[in-house]
Structures are given as C-alpha cells and as structure tokens.
C-alpha cells in the first residue's frame, strides 16, 4: 500500500501524462510534413494527405487558382477551386498529391485540394 504522498505523486504523473497526450493530439498530429511528400513523391502520389503551414504566395487567373503552403520542412503548391486564403494565414489543407510537371530528374508536385472545407 502506498503512502498518501506517493499516491498523490502517482496520480499527478498520470494526469500530466494524459494532458501531454491530449495536447499532442491537437498540435498537428494527423498531418503530413511537406518535406516528406517532396522528398518521397512516389510514396505519396495519388494519395490523400493533410498538410498544415503558412500561406506564402497566392495566384489567381480566371479558373486557375493556387497558393503555396510552407511548413518547417518545405513548401508545396496547393491547387484549389475555393477562394484563396490570405498570405501569411496558417491553415490545414486536405488533398490529393499529384505530379504537375516532370522534366528529366526534376519533378514538380502539387496538392489538389479536396472538397472538404480547409481548417483555419
């Protein structure tokens, strides 16, 4: 049988551990690092992924709309048919990884945003 101090310490450790696990679940878990996608394009081609980061560029010309999303590991172009996010905005996007252009050994990937609403 544990004395009251040890029991209190054990309960405290369990609570701290539980809080740590819960906080990690809300901090980008479930998202793919952009560097993983660009570093291993064959592993992600045609697959749906979620990425999050900061919008660094936007472009719109008639029906072509895209923005560049950057995280700490890299950046990827996101093609969308929705209104463009603001430059500097931090968002999470779900879409399918596609090869846009391949010339020689250079491949340009894009993320085609799905029909789900992006998270802000």
Q: What is the pLDDT of residues 32-85, one digit of tens each?
A: 999 999 999 889 999 999 999 999 999 998 888 999 999 999 999 999 999 999
* pLDDT at site 116: 54
For tokens 């309960």, what's the residue?
11
pLDDT of residue 43: 93
User: In the structure, how many helices (H) and strands (E) does the chain have?
Assistant: 3, 5
CA distance 40 to 60: 28
1-24: pLDDT as tens digits: 556 665 555 665 555 554 444 444
């Amino acid at each position: 049988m544990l004395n009251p101090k040890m029991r209190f310490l054990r309960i405290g450790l369990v609570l701290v551990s539980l809080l740590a696990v819960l906080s990690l679940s809300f901090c980008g878990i479930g998202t793919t690092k952009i560097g993983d996608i660009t570093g291993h394009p064959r592993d992600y081609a045609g697959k749906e992924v979620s990425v999050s980061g900061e919008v660094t560029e936007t472009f719109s010309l008639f029906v072509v709309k895209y923005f560049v999303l950057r995280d700490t590991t890299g950046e990827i172009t996101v093609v969308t048919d929705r209104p463009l996010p603001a430059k500097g905005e931090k968002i999470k996007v779900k879409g399918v990884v596609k090869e846009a252009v391949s010339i020689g050994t250079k491949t340009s990937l894009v993320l085609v945003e799905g029909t789900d609403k992006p998270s802000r």
